[in-house]
Amino acid sequence: MNEIQQLLLNQQRRDFLRGSVLGLGSVALGSLMGCRNEKKVYLAAPKSAQVPEENQPLGNPHFAPRAKRVIYLFQSGGPSQMELFEYKPRLTEMHGQEIPPSVMGTNRISGMVTNQYSFPLAQPAATFSRRGANGTYVSDLLPYTGQVVDDLCLVKSMYTEQINHEPAMVFMQTGNQLSGRPCIGSWLSYGLGSLNENLPSFIVMLSKGGGDQPISSSAWSNGFLPSHHQGVQFMSGKDPVLYLSSSGGTDKMDRRRALDFIKELNLLQNETWQDPEVDSRLNQYEMAFRMQTAVPGVTDISDEPQHVLDMYGPDVKVPGSFAYNCLLARRLAERDVRFIQLYHLGWDHHGSLTSGIRRATQQTDQPSAALVQDLKQRGLLDDTLVVWGGEFGRTSFCQGKLTPEAFGRDHHPGAFTMWMAGGGIKPGLVYGETDDFAHNVVRNPVHVHDFQATLLHLMGIDHEQFIYKSQGRRYRLTDVHGRVMHDLLA
């Protein structure tokens, strides 16, 4: 049955009167035309003819999930694969030579190099060593990641469609380059709900000290989903969640009574308007009240043993640092927060790559590896999926003048590396392959939508069946694309 038929079957007499410009005149016209006997057809539809109600949370996964929660370590700016995970001796051999036309091909270049007349290849600003049982090449800039490489699945054949930061970041998080769609965390919060009554199901943290390039809140937007599924941002100051604390002198029981009274008013309004945002407001008020007790217990790390703090590195006691946020992510995972999103800026190295990438890796390498180790030793890694990666990669050729210290690399959507760990992912796997210059994917390409489909699959969700209808169209996180990468699954 199509939607127009369903609309007619569900139409009530009062809807007809309210929506008719002619009002009672239309009723008179209908009686003259002999429509009285047809009224019952429009008042109710046989149960067998009714279409299942749309836009309902899943409640339960489509199938048994491999992961219960996700910690996503987003490295904003585009980490260079040549300096981190792609050992390519040819880059060193051909350092300073023009990139071969067969390698350059028809790849897009950004507006920042359109006036560049020469595109010399640049050798990596790092050395590599074999690490782990499989002898996986890992940059010496990532000594701690090298220690846990056997727990990681390196995907070297990622590619995307966007070449600029904002649309590429939004595309990676929402499946579309335009702002306004729900992000991964919001989809999971909506579909599967919360595992913890006292904390939001979707929490976001931005680390400080990484870089100056801004990141838009559209990356953790609920889009067209109910607003209480938007990511709740934890801040690095005295109040981790803005507007959460009660004003001075307010008794907790007084606050509870006030909320109960507001709830009654909102319920009355909801009976009249049936607005889903009223339900969202009720959820937000109640969650804020419970968070007043729960959040301080999460952010107070004074109960952590010293050896655990040492794992995360010297910055772990600095609120807002990437190390501190990684430790909070583990504490939130222990409390069954469904989706924990960390953003670290500082990977956009158009110049001074050598010093810039050393700074970025010094801030993130040890905490990222410590998070994997910490989850593993607590038995949480088996059902927690950890993701590390940015929005795109970097070019194998140099941006600007090629010098030992000052050269940089431009944006490159054609190939980049991400890693995943735990949550049903095959450990110790290196998947996909690029050419001798880490510029083009030559084996097992993985599109952004494939990554998103695989993530949902690990959470027990069929991405093709996980749909929300908005403004007359049905939407998915993966749009009309995506395939589950079964080769990555344990």
Tokens 């993985």 belong to residue: 446
| Higher local confidence (pLDDT), 252 or 297 | 297
CA nearest to 165, candidates 153, 173, 154: 173
Please say if the pLDDT value at position 220 is more than 60: yes
Q: What is the pLDDT of residue 51?
A: 40
Please say if the pLDDT value at position 38 is more than 60: no
Please say if the pLDDT value at position 12 is more than 80: no
Q: Rounded distance, CA 55 to CA 236, Å?
A: 35
Mean pLDDT of all residues in 151-163: 97
- Alpha carbon of 69 to those of 267, 324, 341, 347, 447: distances in Å? 32, 20, 11, 26, 22
Mean pLDDT of all residues in 214-223: 90
Residues 6+ apart with CB under 8 A from 31: none
Please say if the pLDDT value at position 45 is more than 60: no
Residues 6+ apart with CB under 8 A from 81: 156, 393, 394, 415, 416, 417, 434, 438
The pLDDT mean for the chain works out to 86
- Judge whether 220 and 229 are in contact, CB under 8 Å: no
Q: pLDDT band at 255, cuts 50/70/90?
A: low
Structure tokens at 18: 């309210």
Helix, strand or coil for residue 301? coil
Please say if the pLDDT value at position 294 is more than 70: yes
Sign (positive/negative) of CA torsion 180, 184, 185, 187?
positive
| Higher local confidence (pLDDT), 431 or 36 | 431
Q: What is the pLDDT of residue 261?
A: 63
Mean pLDDT of all residues in 46-59: 63
Sign (positive/negative) of CA torsion 6, 12, 15, 21?
positive
Please say if the pLDDT value at position 41 is more than 70: no
- Judge whether 439 and 164 are in contact, CB under 8 Å: no
Q: Rounded distance, CA 309 to CA 355, Å?
A: 27
Q: Which amino acid is at 239?
A: D
Helices 322-334 & 353-377 angle (0-180, nearest 10): 20
| pLDDT-above-90 percentage for the chain | 67
- Judge whether 106 and 375 are in contact, CB under 8 Å: no
Mean pLDDT of all residues in 465-469: 96
CA nearest to 298, candidates 421, 203, 190, 187: 203
Q: pLDDT band at 52, cuts 50/70/90?
A: very low
Q: What is the pLDDT of residue 260?
A: 66
How many Cβ atoms are within 10 Å of 88's Cβ, its own excluded?
Answer: 22
